[in-house]
A and B are shown apart, each in its own frame.
Chain A
């Protein structure tokens, strides 16, 4: 089958790959490019485990065709730690016991990041709304919500 080139920025690095037309961004990232932090939980846009950030927007990579991402700036949970230092959200998830099986965690963290980038001091309701597209089957929602609120507080203290 004919391949099409795609080129985008992934976690700050220029990335190019030839893919089959119709390949989802999720499969391109995982199978071709090697970033397996987005997970395939349902491949139908309902679980949120595949969430990534495309040009600042939270997107489901299982419903996004890779070839529509040419020139985009894509961020995943794998790219959040800088210089080996965890992002405040990652640190907060760690400290708050906000992970169980871990499968939903990368999607939860990017969803939370998009929220905090726009709403640095979210209410609990803001957090619940922002995570409403991400399923945690281990049902650890409360620690996850607390982790996001803790990370927001840590951010605002650093900014002050």
Chain B
């Protein structure tokens, strides 16, 4: 590894002892010997297996649920429906006051996406639970469904989620999260060229090698140990406390070892129902997604649509940017209102643009609820923005890297969402990228600085 110490040399205390030194990973010895304990490596005598009955429809009213045959199946210990869940309607971001509660632990009267959990079956063996789940009879009245964000936003579209009342998340700023900075129309009027492009992405599944799940063991005294691969331990504990109406002191969460997460294990899906099952049966419970469930049921990254309109001058300055961003939350909020909001702050990119207008929508459809994944709300936006930057550079006949130097944000620049830029390093990163990739730029760009005045 090469350490370049000339960047920021005049503003950095030298004497770094750790940076640049290889250090052994603390968890590796466990990994290479097979001793690392993942949640599913815990096995308790008398452990029950939970299997979920899931909706085969994208959107349907539930007329009735008949669990009688499933309950009679050999090995079945308990069957759970919505009425067994103390606080069945929840939303995970309620912890940071992002409501309304809009999702059910087990479906109550309606399903809003194909794969939604309806009935939980607990049995002595995985096989018995699976067989019994197939015997649960749910009578559905299929409803019209909507799978496309544009269709969902049209008047008269099927209403996906009654807890919202319309097919978009209502922010305190209205139907979308808004950023207004300068005068974008004046910017377009002054621009030499205008380029408007639309970028779209599909949902992406994290596909961790270890599927989502947890193992719960009653500890006595109404306290439950939950061994889980959640990436959000306290977030899960607090939401479970709300859903089960149990004080947090009764919930003993054990985790931190995750067989691949990538953001896919931050929703609170398996723990509350598994702990409830352990509470109602008094027995240890294992709820582990099959590979099929991991691929079809767990939240993917949201599909996104980003419409970018830029005004650019012949000398390379971007003078106006208008962005409409759409995040497909699927049927429920989970982390998507937050992801869409992140997009709103991010769409100007790491560039200083004097006139910006941004509308970021979080849209509900009858698709699998989406949620967090590696820079959600930002990653797809970055793809769109940087493709747009290359197109703009081509439009004005400028080198794409030099074009980015001209527009790069630097310390002291005001961002569109009114955060002054501090600690910028984009100029220096691009200078090093120029050297490393042997993509030369004019000397004046190599003399620029993110923080030195005049440079």
Binding site for B on A (CB under 8 A): 20, 30-31, 34-44, 46-47, 49, 76-78, 80-81, 86, 89-91, 93-94, 97, 99-106, 109, 135-138
Contact = CB atoms under 8 A, between A and B. Distances in A.
B281 interface: no
A138 B291 CA distance: 17
Contacts of B25: 97, 99
Task: Give the size range of B's interface with the partner.
Answer: 20 to 34
Contacts of B27: 99, 102
Nearest to A36: B41
A100 B31 CA distance: 9
B30 interface: yes
A93 B27 CA distance: 12
Nearest to A93: B32
Contacts of A94: 24, 28-29, 32
Contacts of A34: 43
Nearest to B128: A1
B68 to A, nearest CB: 24
Given A41-B291, A99-B28, A102-B30, A137 B38 contact: no
Given A99-B28, A101-B258, A103-B259, A41 B34 contact: no
A76 B291 CA distance: 23
B260 A86 contact: no
Q: Is the interface of A mostly helix, strand, loop or mixed?
A: loop
B35 to A, nearest CB: 7
Contact of A138 (B33, B38, B260): B260
Contacts, number: 98
B209 A101 contact: yes
Given A99-B25, A103-B210, A135-B209, A40 B32 contact: no
Contacts of B43: 30-31, 34
Interface in B22-64: 24-25, 27-38, 40-41, 43
A137 B207 contact: yes
Determine the main DSSP class of B at the interface with A: loop
Contact of A99 (B31, B38, B41): B31
B296 interface: no
Contact of B31 (A20, A44, A46, A102): A102
Contact of B28 (A49, A93, A135): A93
B258 A106 contact: no
B12 to A, nearest CB: 27
A36 B209 contact: no
B121 to A, nearest CB: 18
Nearest to A134: B209
Contact of B291 (A42, A91, A106): A42
A136 B40 CA distance: 19
Nearest to A78: B34
A109 B207 CA distance: 21
Contacts of B34: 35-38, 76-78, 105-106
Interface in B220-265: 258-262
With most chain A CB atoms within 10 A of its CB, the pick from B34, B41, B206 is B34
A39 B32 contact: no
B209 A103 contact: yes
Contacts of B125: 20
A43 B291 contact: yes
